[in-house]
Amino acid sequence: MKLSQAKNIVMASIDSQIQHATGRDAQRVIPYLIGGAGLGKTSIVQQIAEEREHGCYILSLAQYDAAELAGIIALVDGEAKRIMPHWLAKITEMASKMEAVYLFGDEVVQSPVSNQNVWAQVVNERRIGEFKLPDNVAIVAAGNRTSDRAGTNTMPTHLRDRLMFLEVEADLETTIAYMVAHGIHEDVTGFLRGFPQALHEFDRDANASPSPRSWDRVATILDWGLDPVCEAEAISGQVGRARCADFLGYRKLKANMPDLDRIVSNPDSADIPRDAMVLYALSAGLAHKMNQSNAGNIIKYLKRLDQQEFAAFAVKDAVNRDPELKKSEAVRQWIITDGKELIL
């Protein structure tokens, strides 16, 4: 399923878990996101928390041993007692200050079976020993596919039985919406619009291959100010040489793109490119540039494009970057007229 669909299911699960925190086990359905590395499984849970202004605590199960997860046994006043594990103490503290907190169990199948057995009690009983999760804490989990050879272990059947498995795949629209909302370089979003097949091509035998996470890192590399040779090597180290070559070729095509400032100042007479790759770059650039004061002129220009899907890309990405643009009369009118069949 798409990440956007998984996100909707996770949100419904979170609400239900908190509502039925003290109810029956069957009322607390725990989602488990499973998919290739770098898809954005963690990001969608963080995104939900950001949108709702809730807390999110990521517990990477593979990075601890079972004693750390369960809480060590210590001698207290001559009696052996379990000490509350640090992660649960942190969750409890966060829950006392926030409306809700998400406990995200990551790298589940990358962790040893002993850790998964500890996690099973958290999932099923919402506790570790005598220490209970606060009622306003919801649980979500994730892991990679065994077929990806990402250091996975077999999940015990008793834990498997307690989870709702959601197999997710790369989703271009969800990924780009996340990228533009976080200010990711428009060259990356424009390229992915033009080469959607390059979004996720996981190769378990390659040192580097394209994924939403690796493209996010490419955007970071672009801000380093490297010389062209070093920049190409760095990008290859994230997405592989083949996709690096495609990306650099796309950036060269931008030289044929009309000047964005001229478009804003002269929307009725600025040149209209015909090359599809240049149009992808153009729509990404205009989406990045659009604001309340220039939205009207940019919309005027976009309405001149023969292929209005590029106008839809620009408006959609601009609004995802800055939701306040929906208040612009020009944007609002375009959405309810020209764009009503293009923006879903």
Residue with tokens 């046994």: 73
Q: In this predicted structure, what is the pLDDT of residue 1?
A: 86
Q: In this predicted structure, what is the pLDDT of residue 139?
A: 96
Q: Could you say which residues of the chain have pLDDT below 50?
A: none
Q: How many CB atoms lie within 10 A of CB 38?
A: 21
According to DSSP, residue 83 is labeled P
Q: In this predicted structure, what is the pLDDT of residue 201?
A: 87
Distance from the first to the final alpha carbon of the chain: 18
Q: How many CB atoms lie within 10 A of CB 51?
A: 11
Domains in the chain: boundaries: 3-167, 172-336
What tokens were used for 283?
Answer: 């729509």
Q: In this predicted structure, what is the pLDDT of residue 40?
A: 82
Residues in the chain, total: 344
Pick the CATH number of 3-167 from 3.40.47.10, 3.30.365.10, 3.40.50.300, 1.10.645.10: 3.40.50.300
**pLDDT tens profile 123-151:** 999 998 889 999 999 999 998 876 555 55
Q: In this predicted structure, what is the pLDDT of residue 8?
A: 93
**pLDDT tens profile 16-74:** 999 998 888 888 899 999 988 788 888 889 989 999 999 999 999 988 888 888 888 77
- Distance, CA of 209 to CA of 236 (rounded, Å): 9
H-helix segments, the chain: 3-19, 41-52, 66-70, 86-97, 113-125, 157-160, 172-181, 186-194, 212-222, 228-239, 241-253, 260-265, 276-289, 295-302, 308-321, 329-336
Q: In this predicted structure, what is the pLDDT of residue 342?
A: 57
Q: In this predicted structure, what is the pLDDT of residue 241?
A: 94
Q: Which residues contact 63 (CB under 8 A, 6 or more apart)?
A: 107
Residue with tokens 């070093």: 230
DSSP one-letter string for 168-219:
-B--HHHHHHHHHHTT--HHHHHHHHH-GGGS----TTSS----HHHHHHHH
Residue with tokens 């959607």: 196
